[in-house]
Structure 1
Amino acid sequence: MTTTDLITADELLQMKDDGFRYELVRGGLIKMSPAGHQHGRIALNFTTPLDQFVRANQLGAVYAAETGFKLAEDPDVVRAPDAAFIRRERVETVGQTEGFWPGAPDLAAEVISPGDTHAEVQDKIADWLDAGTRLVVVINPSTQTVALYYSRSDIRILTIDDVLDGGEVVPNWTLPVRDIFI
């Protein structure tokens, strides 16, 4: 496939598994490298307590890194965060679906990988926010910080000594930032 060939979300879903993960950005395929061990551990340290809290309080559903979300059409955008949360009401409205989730999650978390450029991370944040994600959590292993994006202009940076708060998106959920980087 050449770089000028555009594909749809349906075509991405039908692709044969070649061992790689892909995102679809404005119709173009982006090959995602497998996560390193630190990336995987940090993603798990964030996702596990989120999932436990969401399940215990019946708030909705938490999704792992392989889950694709169809954020836009024509050209299609399908992103797969390292973790995602969708409120119970939205899960019940959509029901069980095959394929990609139709729309944005309420929360999307991205763990920055060593090979990610600043522009790539900013593009992902913009795609999530533009599609309606209410909270984008960007976890930076190299600085041990967490950036909370509520909008392009409402951003909070948390350090290792802070506590992440789910706010209105995941009410009453907290997680010490330090615990993400254990």
Structure 2
Amino acid sequence: LGSYVRSQRIGFTFDSDTSFKMKSGNRRSPDCSFFSKERLQSLGGIPRGYIEGSPDLAVEVLSDANTVGEIHDKVVEYFENGSRLVWIIHPEEKYVLVYRRPEPEALKKPGDILEGGEVIPGFALDLSEFFAEPEL
């Protein structure tokens, strides 16, 4: 995702060290996120500290510690604060839930292509490759 976004010069990707301040005062740090160049320009560039609002794309990678309620609350809050796309990745079960609103729109599995749609035009990821076991 980062390589594609850099090559297309359409925005910036961030890791979980980046904090986004929600209207509620909560700070969220998705595992990976994308913020469009246009939205960052409207903020005057990449702010120091945290970014007001949520990213255009928020990516959460599930762990055993996550609850369904916790993830649902995050998804709802992301959309209430400006996200246009959310991907919830379940590495153990090998699937990605795609959200374009606070309800899942699609379940993508190995053999499917995960696309960025209008949020990250032209981005496509083969989930068979993404979830492939590393060769030792």
Above 0.5 in TM-score? Answer: yes
Rounded Cα–Cα distance in structure 2 between residues aligned with 1:160 and 1:133: 25
Rounded Cα–Cα distance in structure 1 between residues aligned with 2:103 and 2:71: 16
Mapping of 1:50-61 within 5 angstroms?
A: 50-61=1-12
Q: Which runs of 5+ in 1 are unaligned?
A: 1-49
Structure 1 position 86, deviation (Å): 0.7
Rounded Cα–Cα distance in structure 1 between residues aligned with 2:113 and 2:93: 16
Runs of 4+ in structure 1 over 6 Å off: none
Maintained 8 Å contact 2:95/2:109: yes
Rounded Cα–Cα distance in structure 2 between residues aligned with 1:171 and 1:79: 25
The two structures, once aligned, show a CA RMSD in angstroms of 1.2
The one of 125, 150, 171 aligned to 2:121: 171
Q: How many pairs are equivalent?
A: 131
Judged with a 3 Å threshold, the aligned counterparts in structure 2 of structure 1 residues 154 and 139 are, in CA distance, closer, same or farther, namely closer
Q: Which structure is larger by alpha-carbon Rg, 1 or 2? A: 1
Structure 1 position 168, deviation (Å): 0.2
Rounded Cα–Cα distance in structure 1 between residues aligned with 2:90 and 2:76: 17
The one of 37, 47, 54 aligned to 1:104: 54
The one of 138, 145, 150 aligned to 2:88: 138
1:57 counterpart letter in structure 2: Q
The aligned residue for residue 63 of structure 1 is 14
Mapping of 1:17-166 within 5 angstroms?
A: 50-73=1-24, 76-94=25-43, 95-153=45-103, 155-166=105-116
| 2:55 match: secondary structure | coil
Rounded Cα–Cα distance in structure 1 between residues aligned with 2:72 and 2:103: 13
Maintained 8 Å contact 1:61/1:85: yes
Maintained 8 Å contact 2:113/2:124: yes
Maintained 8 Å contact 1:82/1:109: yes
Identity %: 34
Maintained 8 Å contact 2:97/2:108: yes
1:58 counterpart letter in structure 2: R
Rounded Cα–Cα distance in structure 2 between residues aligned with 1:62 and 1:153: 24
